[in-house]
Structure 1
Amino acid sequence: MTTSLPTVLFVDDEKSVLDGLRRSLYGQRNEWNQVFATSGAEALEILARERVAVVVSDMRMPGMDGATLLDRVRMIQPEAVRIILSGFSEREAIFRTIGPAHQYFVKPCTPHALAEAIRRSLGVRQIIRSADLMALVGGATSIPALPKALTDLFSALQSQDGSTAEVARIISSDTGLTVNLLKLTNSGFFYLPSSISDVMQAVKLLGFEMVRTLTVLGTVFESFSCTGIDCLAVKQLQKRSLQIGLLARRIAESDRLDPHEIDLIQCAGMLSHVGSLLLFAKCPVQMADLRNTLDRSGGGIVAAERNALGACHAELGAALLGLWGFTDPVVEAVLFHHEPSRCEFFSPHTMGAITAVHAAQHLVKPPPSGKAEKAEWLNGLDMVFLQKTGAVSRVEDWIAVAERAREEYES
């Protein structure tokens, strides 16, 4: 075993499945060490004696199932990437596994798709867990403490024992969480069949990841607005986040992506600027100066934030969301939503979330009227990335989608 490489642990009670993974992933032996276990108990023995970067587990195993195993992994090696492979398709079964797992794959999952997921997860963590970025997140003394009900909610959402009833109970126990969730659920950014007045009903309709997103968008944004930073800027940021989420969803729908992926894309869009809150709280004077400078001169916000503050809102937001237990597709889309070409490992068929959120964060702004100005405005999109993924031909359609979305949230 090469000690300098990350270790990936594969767990399945069927030896033939593990043998198949060993053969099909042989080509990745120079990227990571591969360790195999035929039960949850054997996996825990391995985890007790060595550091593991990724755990890939089957869901249905005798004794200790995959959800229980990954919940234990979350506690004993919290930095390990947790991936579940399951034949389940029922919504409650997916709810159960989504908590302790960073990624969820329905069987059969091709070795290529699994290898790519491992590469991308490791690549994201290399960025969001860098020492410099963690120092910025940890050193922000002005970040408001999260309400106890919200930390309890995050814990329940990450637990394999978290149920719809338990999540609804925690939200209902806190007036602020309840009001914020129902207010956002019934806003014009969601098209539900009728008005929702019951927390349990909202949780069942929206799903765990959307509930987690809306509690962050409501409660965390509200907490930051009470810290003495620019309240107007926070309110504008919350509104813009909802708009980006809606537009990202509409773009994903126009591209006919999977319904579950569309939900995650809307989550990522709504959370794409949560890192800006951290910058407003940590560096209020510099952020105010930065906004004024960009308003006068134009220019790229990401480069300006890095030059002035040492990191950009996308990196800080992804780091926060990772700490709060959001799934990998959401964290990854937030991390790369301004610079998708930074995503080192990708294929045209697996970049829906990054593509949709990247397009939405730019196209949410109305285009200029002049032909030359519009051409320059389009350069705000990462055309190299869109060319590589074969999505550049979709841009004009996305502009039309954006125009219709603006009419939706302005009406």
Structure 2
Amino acid sequence: MLPREMLKGRLMTQHTDRIVFVDDDPQVLRALEVLLRSRKDQWEVHYLNSGKAALNLMATQRVDVLVTDMMMPAMDGATLLSHVVDRHPEVFRVVLSATSDRQQTLDHLDLIHQYISKPVSGQELIHVVDRACALRKIVQHEGLRKHIAQIQTLPSRPQTYHMLRHLLTREPYQHEAISHVIRRDPGMTSKILQWVNSNFFGIRQRITDVHDAVMLLGSDLLHDIVDKFEAFDQACTLSPRQIELNELWDHSVRVATFSKAIMVNQENVQPRDIEDAYTAGLLHDVGKLIMVEYFGSRYSQLMHKAHNQSLNLRELELGELGVTHAQVGAYLLGLWGLPDCIVDAVAQHDQPAEHATSGMTLPAVVYMANMMDQNEAGPRHHPNMQAIDPDMLIDSLRHDIVGRLDLAISIAA
């Protein structure tokens, strides 16, 4: 399911989505045309046999989604993607390739939003492109969309890389300890989930749990990915100048912990629901970093105004900027191919508690958890949040979670 904001925007727009497929093999292009014929009335599709042809088209017409092979003569996919990043950064970039060259793909992670392995079903390909087109409607600000599309990574705490480098050199594979480190860092979690949910690594199931991702990727591949992320992080344009990164990430860990505790206490809950709740809570505020970077002191002042005057940040964002940090965060995570349930919860986490009228949905859980932390229902000023084990905190919360929920609901009412 896509966030309601996306679906509403999709119905309201008169914009025809323009999709470009690039592959040097004419048989592949013909096969794609057959696979996608059900969308011929919804999309304007161009099937091109070279990167040069794609760039020529993009020089004269707006393109929403580019899907390209990697192994092509004259201009390969990486070169094409590099040109697109420089000239048309707002374009959603997908690789559709049969290449099994892991190093080549890792070398070009910064150019790719999502990766799809050949062969691909029409249903899977349509889902990826439909989702990308719907995502464009959630953020109407063209300049902001361009900015988000160029983001390679979100900043991680320096100690995250230090601890992971140490753990990844140990034998046997320290998957439990590695998972514990990653799941306390929203930046690292978002990137690990981006790549484990691409099917380049042969994993076609939906993954929202960092522990599952760490087990599936394995030590060698995770080591290579972490090295690449650290290089991205060092060149990251997202500067936590005006938001103290540790404070924001600590808040995110607390909300994740509260989200998990709330979900644990629901009836008929499945293990996957519990991990979805933790991950959605952890990633709920990633949009704030992007808003600060793009809008600068204007957004920082907006946050201070909301905090100091007890005003609704969502209403201030919409009134003064026309977009919310929740929408921006959902847009980025959607571009990166995180599961719909996580994107949906992030997009709606700042909306009122009427989410819960038909049951405690994932967006409602994250909303409540966020309210609990914002209203000092949690350890806001703990001197060493990094030392707290989320599972231990969850166990301690089970005894009074109902009272804390009542508090959050009464405040939201």
**How much does 1:307 deviate?**
5.0
Match of 2:239 among 220, 227, 235: 220
TM-score by length of 2: 0.55
1:337 corresponds to which residue?
A: 346
**Distance in 1 separating the partners of 2:225 and 2:362:** 23
Q: Does structure 1 residue 76 correspond to structure 2 residue 87?
A: yes
Q: Does structure 1 residue 313 correspond to structure 2 residue 328?
A: no
1:287 corresponds to which residue?
A: 303
Write the mapping of 1:137-216 to structure 2, written as runs, cut at 5 A: 182-186=158-162, 192=168, 204=224, 206=226, 208-209=228-229, 212=232
1:8 corresponds to which residue?
A: 19
Q: Does structure 1 residue 369 correspond to structure 2 residue 405?
A: no
Q: Is the 8 A contact 1:12 1:37 kept in 2?
A: yes
From the superposition, tell whether residues 50 and 285 of structure 1 become closer, same or farther in structure 2 (CA, over 3 Å).
closer
1:328 corresponds to which residue?
A: 336
| One-letter amino acid matched to 1:369 | D
From the superposition, tell whether residues 277 and 247 of structure 1 become closer, same or farther in structure 2 (CA, over 3 Å).
farther
Partner SS for 1:119 = helix
2:382 corresponds to which residue?
A: none
Partner SS for 2:93 = strand
Q: Is the 8 A contact 1:95 1:207 kept in 2?
A: no
Q: Is the 8 A contact 1:6 1:32 kept in 2?
A: yes
2:186 corresponds to which residue?
A: none
**How much does 1:316 deviate?**
4.4
Q: Does structure 1 residue 99 correspond to structure 2 residue 110?
A: yes
Q: Is the 8 A contact 1:82 1:100 kept in 2?
A: yes
Gaps of 5+ in 2: 1-13, 171-176, 179-220, 264-270, 352-360, 379-396
Q: Does structure 1 residue 115 correspond to structure 2 residue 114?
A: no
**Distance in 2 separating the partners of 1:379 and 1:35:** 53
1:55 corresponds to which residue?
A: 66
| One-letter amino acid matched to 1:274 | L
Q: Is the 8 A contact 1:97 1:104 kept in 2?
A: no
% identical aligned pairs: 21
**Distance in 2 separating the partners of 1:181 and 1:242:** 13
| One-letter amino acid matched to 2:336 | D
Q: Is the 8 A contact 2:350 2:367 kept in 1?
A: no
Partner SS for 1:127 = coil
From the superposition, tell whether residues 7 and 277 of structure 1 become closer, same or farther in structure 2 (CA, over 3 Å).
closer
Q: Which has the higher contact order (CA 8 A, sep 6+)?
A: 2
**Distance in 1 separating the partners of 2:364 and 2:165:** 19
From the superposition, tell whether residues 47 and 215 of structure 1 become closer, same or farther in structure 2 (CA, over 3 Å).
closer
From the superposition, tell whether residues 308 and 68 of structure 1 become closer, same or farther in structure 2 (CA, over 3 Å).
closer
**How much does 1:204 deviate?**
2.9
- Relative to structure 2, which stretch is displaced further, 300-309 or 122-131? 300-309
**How much does 1:13 deviate?**
1.9
Q: Is the 8 A contact 2:287 2:327 kept in 1?
A: no
- For residues 52-93 of structure 1, give each alpha carbon's deviation from its aligned partner in whole angstroms, at most 9, with x where no partner exists: 221111222233222222222223333222110122345423
RMSD over equivalenced CA pairs, Å: 5.4
- Relative to structure 2, which stretch is displaced further, 20-29 or 45-54? 45-54
**How much does 1:280 deviate?**
8.0
**Distance in 2 separating the partners of 1:6 and 1:78:** 16
